[in-house]
Amino acid sequence: MFKGSFPALITPFKDGVLDEEAFRAFVKWQIEEGSDGLVPCGTTGESPTLSHSEHMKVTEICIEEANGQIPVLAGTGSNSTKEAVDLTQHAKRAGADAALVVTPYYNKPTQKGMYEHFKAVQDVGLPIIIYNIPARSVIEMSCETMAELGKLPNIVGVKDATADLTRPQMTKIAMSGTPFCHMSGEDGTAVPFLAAGGDGCISVTANIAPRMCADMQRAWREQRLDLCMDLQDRLMPVHNALFCETSPGPVKYAASLLDKCTSDLRLPMIDIAETSKKIVRDALVGAGLLN
């Protein structure tokens, strides 16, 4: 069962191309800072603008640098079932511990269509985390569909980005005791999600505050609630700042302030506004992440 803080990794670019050196160093830093797992090639990693070869390279580098120290959940989702299967097959060959697969965006499949999509991907034989993010995919998987998928051998959990704190409980009721991993996909609700029965968070903020995010999750597991709540209070302004514009613009700018990579984005993403840069910088200073 996956649990704790899993950063949804940014993908560093330099002069328009993948910055492999910066990405390797970034993965190593995440591990040193105590992250519980890593998620390359998700939305935060700008997967929609990566070529297939870049997508595979980023996954391979992350797995290589992790070297079995912590699990890697490789982003392999697509609105094309065949493409999602192909990327999941690659992740399995590369040695990923699981795949993060988003609900098929743009196509707007029915619940039955989503079931068949995920069934085809799980047939690859790699554990699958469903990524339920209605705000970006325009569809929402129901608790009942998720419960049906949970009966399949390789559907093992969900990244829930609905911000609906009833979801862990309602899904568990629908699953009638089937083991299932519930990971929040919304940093702002990370602790309430744990209280509602969640297991951790696949996090944007953990890109720039990996130690604090991991410590907050660990404090919850160890029932050190005062520490957990203190860390949540310190991180909340950072969570808000990192979504002052469309992600990953703000978090890439934050990473550049920490000298982890450039703030370069790929079109149609563009550099965040000066007013947003001030919001991000002030939040990092306030949380003690930047002098």
* Active-site pick, 159, 252, 260, 277: 159
Query: DSSP readout, the chain?
Result: ---EEEEB----EETTEE-HHHHHHHHHHHHHTT-S-BB-SSTTTTGGGS-HHHHHHHHHHHHHHHTTSS-BEEE---SSHHHHHHHHHHHHHHT-SEEEEE--TTT---HHHHHHHHHHHHTTSS-EEEEE-HHHHS----HHHHHHHTTSTTEEEEEE-S--TTHHHHHHHHHTT---EEEES-GGGHHHHHHTT--EEEESGGGT-HHHHHHHHHHHHTT-HHHHHHHHHHHHHHHHHTTSSSTTHHHHHHHHHTTSS-----TT--PPPHHHHHHHHHHHHHTTS--
Q: Is 106 a catalytic residue?
A: no
* Active-site pick, 131, 172, 253, 277: 131
Q: Which amino acid is at 52?
A: H
Residue with tokens 């309602």: 170
Q: Is 253 a catalytic residue?
A: no
Catalytic residues: 131, 159
